Amino acid sequence: MILVTGGLGFIGSHTVVELQNEGFEVVIVDNLSNSSIDVLDKITKITGKQPLFEEIDLRDKQAVHQLFKKYTTISGVIHFAASKAVGESVENPLLYYENNLNSLIYLLQEGRNIGLANKLRSYHLQNQGLDTLAANWHLGFSADERSFELATILLKHLGISSIQLLSNNPLKSQALQAGGIKIDRMVPMLGRRNAFNQDYLKTKKQKMGHHLS
């Protein structure tokens, strides 16, 4: 399921039509601040399918949290909900910070697939001695809850069939290959080891097979 924010707006509504025509299930979030609910009927008429719709203001952090709780199968977010008039942004810059930055931050926090609150719970467990993997398991999650399907779809749409992958994570490489993308080379991303990250990196290497020396 793909979440399209601002999905009743100009670009968002066209995107929803394309997604539905390609067979994706879509949930739209829009606060109707610059669009009309009639657009939903128009999308339905064009595609023959009514997208799911939630009238939510993305500046409302709690509402965003509830949204991700309700739709647990969201595997990708296309974010169009924003204020975008240049003159208005000069007159009311705080609105623009709030609408365009806070909303994005809330989406990213909830969109981590385990949610920010669970990420903090995971850190707490790691402080008590569990490693990053065991902490996720303890909370009932798998090692990595992310789906890389959307990346595959986007690459294919752009006509890109082979890439150099900047990552140490073999699962990422496998997921992209399973989606038909050829990995020409994996370019290691090696940060500096220190007292704070050495155990974390050790777990990634030993238990998750990350390409780390």
Ligand X SMILES: NC(=O)c1ccc[n+]([C@@H]2O[C@H](COP(=O)([O-])OP(=O)(O)OC[C@H]3O[C@@H](n4cnc5c(N)ncnc54)[C@H](O)[C@@H]3O)[C@@H](O)[C@H]2O)c1
Residues tagged active-site = 144, 146
- DSSP classification of residue 51: P
**Of 33, 164, 174, 206, which lies in the binding site for ligand X, with binding defined by CB under 6 A?**
33
Distance linking the first and last C-alpha atoms of the chain: 37
81 counts as binding ligand X under rule CB under 6 A:
yes
Scanning 18-26, 76-84, 156-164, 165-173 for contacts with ligand X by CB under 6 A, the matching segment is: 76-84
**Of 80, 148, 168, 172, which lies in the binding site for ligand X, with binding defined by CB under 6 A?**
80
**Of 34, 109, 113, 118, which lies in the binding site for ligand X, with binding defined by CB under 6 A?**
34
15 counts as binding ligand X under rule CB under 6 A:
no
Q: Shortest distance, CB of residue 17 to ligand X, whole angstroms? A: 13
181 counts as binding ligand X under rule CB under 6 A:
no
3 counts as binding ligand X under rule CB under 6 A:
no
8 counts as binding ligand X under rule CB under 6 A:
yes
Angle of helix 115-127 relative to helix 103-110, nearest 10 degrees?
Answer: 60
Q: Shortest distance, CB of residue 41 to ligand X, whole angstroms? A: 15
Under a CB-based contact definition with an 8 Å cutoff, are residues 203 and 183 in contact?
no
Question: CB-based contacts of 107: which residues, under 8 Å, 6+ apart?
Answer: 5, 58, 64, 77, 79
Q: Which of 54, 50, 78, 80 is nearest to 66 (CA)?
A: 54
58 counts as binding ligand X under rule CB under 6 A:
yes
Shorter beta-carbon distance to ligand X: residue 25 or 57 = 57
| C-alpha–C-alpha distance, residues 53 and 26, integer Å | 9
Shorter beta-carbon distance to ligand X: residue 38 or 191 = 38
* Tokens 């704070």, located at residue: 196
Q: Shortest distance, CB of residue 141 to ligand X, whole angstroms? A: 28
Structural tokens at position 168: 């140490």
| 121: helix, strand or coil | helix
In sign, the C-alpha dihedral spanning 193, 136, 206, 170 is negative
Q: Shortest distance, CB of residue 8 to ligand X, whole angstroms? A: 5
Three-state SS string over 63-78 comes to HHHHHHHHCCCCCEEE
Shorter beta-carbon distance to ligand X: residue 84 or 119 = 84
Which residues contact ligand X (rule: CB under 6 A)? 6, 8-12, 29-35, 57-59, 80-84, 99, 103
